[in-house]
Structure 1
Amino acid sequence: MEKITAFLNPPKVLVLGFAAVILIGALLLTLPLSTEDGEGLSFLNALFTATSATCVTGLVVVDTGSTFSRFGEIVILILIQIGGLGFMTFATFIFFLLGKRISLRERLLLREALNHLSMAGIVRLVKRVLIFTGMIELVGAIILSVRFSLDMPIGRAIYFGIFHSISNFNNAGFDLLGGFRSLTPYAEDPTVVLTVCALITLGGIGFIVMNEMYEYHDTKRLSVHTKVVLLTSLILTVSGAILIFMFEYGNEKTLEPLSYLGKGLAALFQSVTARTDGANTMSISDLTQPTLFLTIILMFIGASPGSTGGGIKTTTFATLLGTVWSQVKGKEDVIFFRKRIVFDTIFKALTVTVSGLFLVITITMLLSITEKGHEFIVYLFEATSAFGTVGLSMGLTPELSPIGRVLIICTMFAGRLGPLTIAFAIALRRKPDAFRHPKGKIMIG
């Protein structure tokens, strides 16, 4: 029993739990009633779709709107919701409904799933997560339903509003408009663009940040974590939008034909969606090289800890920049908002970043071997999008070979769970050394 308990530590439970959800979803999508043609998907395509939905990525090998039946679309939507919240949070919701008490082990798993620093108040936080999620998705669904009702029957508009609200709050980016178009028909529509941007941003800042902002009226304080998340997210979004506007302004295939308002909305949306959502209002394959490279950087950074998004996370990026700045200034400590960042945090940031870089480089290299006939940036873009659980694609995904699809499946899974699980697994395994070796010096730089 002790060996079983040791094996099933929180990181391993999370990995096995996500894998089980993906497998169940894949099996459901192979059923004849899941597709419009009544034949179901092949297992590999079903596994790819289920992984993309559960890992809230949005990469698709078949068009969601035209391929799946209503049943298949609802399966995908449930997988997105479970994947966005985390299966432990979703399971806790079921426990609440059944009146079941949350055990100590389940609280440990919740702390791991939400990337929380302690178990204090973890159940209360989960309840608020569920409330925040329900309220934000409801408001988003109402606004989008009203807008879509101008273009389609009211029943379909409500369904589309609910689907796209849940999909984008959970940073999944799945859409039902068909033809692999995503939200390009609404590139100049302020209601759709700003609503979806708000959903993506709220889903990407993290539930811990949401909770602190909710309590700010009473506490009148924000933690260093929340301040770093908000400031970094703001800088990345604004600077990204400005640079994309500049890079694409004269591109006749993207911004050039749009009005000034449309140009601003499209640039803003591209900056926001690159932070792990995957919906798009401009043709990704028609973007200029500078925009594509900037998008790759934004995708790699991703959203924030404890959110529905992926990537190395905004706090990791900020910690690395802060470390570099401290070294340049000749200071020993990394200071954020008059608080010293402990070395354990810096080491974890380096571990997560290097792990992510290694994974992206490896998958890019393998894709360049298995998939022929594309420029190198296409492979790098696809690998980074999968790792960051973004879902943007330059058109390679539907053309992937079976080996390429397996590679992207593994990358999406690792991207959703890898950095977080690695960081906590390191913390769980760390033990004081019995002795320390003599110091050694190597030359750097």
Structure 2
Amino acid sequence: MGIKRNVIRLALRGRIGLMQAAPARLLLFGYVSYMLAGWAFLSMPVSQVQPVGAIDTLFTSVSAVSTTGLATVAIGGSFSRFGELVMLLLIQAGGLGYMTIGSFAVLSVYHRLGRVRTHTVRQAFNLPEGISPVMFLRSVVWFTLICEGIGAAALYLMFHQAGVPDAMWMAVFHSISAFCTAGFSLFGDSLTQFHDHVGINLAISILSLFGAMGFLIIVDGWRAILGRPRMLGFTSKVIVRITLVLLSLGTLILFVTEPELRALPPDERLMASFFQTMSASTTVGFNTVSISGMSQAVLMILMGLMVVGASPAGTGGGLKTTSFAALLGLVRSTLKNREAVRFFKRRVSDEKLNMATASLAYYSGMCGVALFLLLLTESGHSFESLLFEAVSAMGTVGLSTGITGDLTDLGKLIIIVLMTAGRVGILTFGIALAAHDESRAEEQDDNLVL
């Protein structure tokens, strides 16, 4: 009885401590628990066709939950159908988000959320006060299932027509992988064999864009269709415009400057340019042409797109298009010597500017430290390849110049940390690791000169 009482007491203390934890730490704990559970399942013999090392199974699990898509082993040839199913569930869990699945299950039983869950859901998706977390979660789950179902049906027809073996499973896997912007493919060459297939390129692009642009804009668009007042009109406008500008500029630059694409016919060249731009900016990570063969100038453009990344409350990573917009407004207003920061003729609050600036600073610092460590552990690879790998991991993109499988164990662990930080959110990851809150420190006027 004494042992049982102690176990119950420890369980209660753990539950109370978890419930009292800051939302950022709760999110980090949730994602890490998913990653460790996935590691355990992928390590089982039934999950593997051929033996996969412990560090590689951990890497695969983290990459799946973070919806990154980087892989140290060939997914299709290393894991069994059961292992692929485990990966698919990890991708779905990572794409929907740690709090979404658990909270949706709670809603199904109790029809309401507790205070801690409500607060954490707002933190996870950056929900404004005007949007109900309950309504938002239900919309997210149903919209995800509908999009992935339609995408799987469309891909099945095209894969079947193209003679792809086991077309149904391939369609389901790639539909979920695309919508969750994971970029995992069961084909050994990603989607390069379909570089000239308009239908498959279009289906993957639409799924990726829907997932990356964020559930907030989907909810807002649905309200507009139903004739209800939109709650995020300005945010939706910023997301759409920034996304379109980045897609257009990236496609144009790749079409004009990339030597690897010049051998293609003009229509295929345009499609490949758009697809790789879309893949980097949505952080989905699929590729229809070889990334390792691209020029350094284009790799720099792709890295810029990966840094900006997707949009808030979406399945993609990166700094987010809204943070990028806020930073653009800050630079423009500073150059014009304006007191207030504006973007699209709307004032950007100091809180949003602080968050965007802090995200960029933390992102740059973490990327710099990771690159320094990778240069120490991976001396056999070039600077630009390691930088591309680090940016891809932090943005949860999954594009690579082909060095992922050749990394040392220490190098893989560094990339694992970057992928985890990218999925939780760069700033949220920093907040979760912060030791204490300095907001109560004595306030004094600063004499800092800028």
Normalised TM-score (structure 1): 0.92
The residue aligned with 1:271 is 277
CA shift for structure 1 position 336: 2.6
- The answer to whether the 8 A contact 1:57-1:391 is kept is yes
The residue aligned with 2:34 is 21
Structure 2 counterpart of 1:87, which letter?
Answer: Y
5 Å-filtered alignment, 1:4-403, equals 4=17, 8-37=21-50, 39=51, 41-99=52-110, 101-118=112-129, 120-152=131-163, 156-178=166-188, 181-217=189-225, 218-219=227-228, 221=230, 222-248=232-258, 251=259, 254-275=260-281, 276-403=283-410
Alpha-carbon distance between aligned partners in 2 of 1:149 and 1:97, rounded to the nearest angstrom:
37
Alpha-carbon distance between aligned partners in 1 of 2:433 and 2:228, rounded to the nearest angstrom:
33
Change (3 A) 1:426 1:349: farther
CA shift for structure 1 position 95: 2.7
CA shift for structure 1 position 152: 3.0
Structure 2 counterpart of 1:378, which letter?
Answer: S
Deviations 1:122-142 (A, max 9, x none): 101100001110111111111
Alpha-carbon distance between aligned partners in 2 of 1:153 and 1:335, rounded to the nearest angstrom:
51
Deviations 1:296-318 (A, max 9, x none): 11111110111101011111111
- The answer to whether the 8 A contact 2:18-2:26 is kept is no
- The answer to whether the 8 A contact 1:172-1:277 is kept is yes
Deviations 1:199-219 (A, max 9, x none): 111111111111001111323
CA shift for structure 1 position 226: 1.4
- The answer to whether the 8 A contact 1:351-1:423 is kept is no
When structure 1 is superposed on structure 2, of 23-32 and 369-378 the one drifting more is 369-378
- The answer to whether the 8 A contact 1:27-1:43 is kept is no
CA shift for structure 1 position 392: 0.3
CA shift for structure 1 position 338: 3.3
Alpha-carbon distance between aligned partners in 1 of 2:56 and 2:160, rounded to the nearest angstrom:
32
Instruction: Specify the SS of the correspondent of 2:261.
Output: coil
When structure 1 is superposed on structure 2, of 365-374 and 1-10 the one drifting more is 1-10
Change (3 A) 1:241 1:143: same
Alpha-carbon distance between aligned partners in 1 of 2:372 and 2:441, rounded to the nearest angstrom:
40
When structure 1 is superposed on structure 2, of 100-109 and 264-273 the one drifting more is 100-109
Q: CA RMSD in A?
A: 2.2
- The answer to whether the 8 A contact 1:273-1:279 is kept is yes
Alpha-carbon distance between aligned partners in 2 of 1:138 and 1:265, rounded to the nearest angstrom:
25
CA shift for structure 1 position 406: 0.4
Instruction: Specify the SS of the correspondent of 1:21.
Output: helix
Deviations 1:387-442 (A, max 9, x none): 00000000110001000000000110011114251587699x87876754234241
Change (3 A) 1:361 1:274: same
Structure 2 counterpart of 1:13, which letter?
Answer: L
In the alignment, structure 1 segments of 5+ residues that lack a partner are none
Alpha-carbon distance between aligned partners in 2 of 1:104 and 1:173, rounded to the nearest angstrom:
35
Structure 2 counterpart of 1:219, which letter?
Answer: R
Structure 1 counterpart of 2:195, which letter?
Answer: A
Identity of aligned residues (%): 36
- The answer to whether the 8 A contact 2:112-2:134 is kept is no
Alpha-carbon distance between aligned partners in 2 of 1:67 and 1:423, rounded to the nearest angstrom:
34
Alpha-carbon distance between aligned partners in 2 of 1:282 and 1:80, rounded to the nearest angstrom:
24
Alpha-carbon distance between aligned partners in 2 of 1:393 and 1:263, rounded to the nearest angstrom:
21
Alpha-carbon distance between aligned partners in 2 of 1:434 and 1:369, rounded to the nearest angstrom:
38
Deviations 1:343-383 (A, max 9, x none): 11111101000111111111111111101222210010000
Deviations 1:162-209 (A, max 9, x none): 10010011000000112xx10000111110111111111111111111
Alpha-carbon distance between aligned partners in 1 of 2:109 and 2:213, rounded to the nearest angstrom:
30
Alpha-carbon distance between aligned partners in 2 of 1:28 and 1:423, rounded to the nearest angstrom:
29
Alpha-carbon distance between aligned partners in 1 of 2:81 and 2:445, rounded to the nearest angstrom:
65
In the alignment, structure 2 segments of 5+ residues that lack a partner are 1-12
Alpha-carbon distance between aligned partners in 2 of 1:422 and 1:117, rounded to the nearest angstrom:
20
Change (3 A) 1:434 1:370: closer
Deviations 1:15-37 (A, max 9, x none): 11100100010011111111113
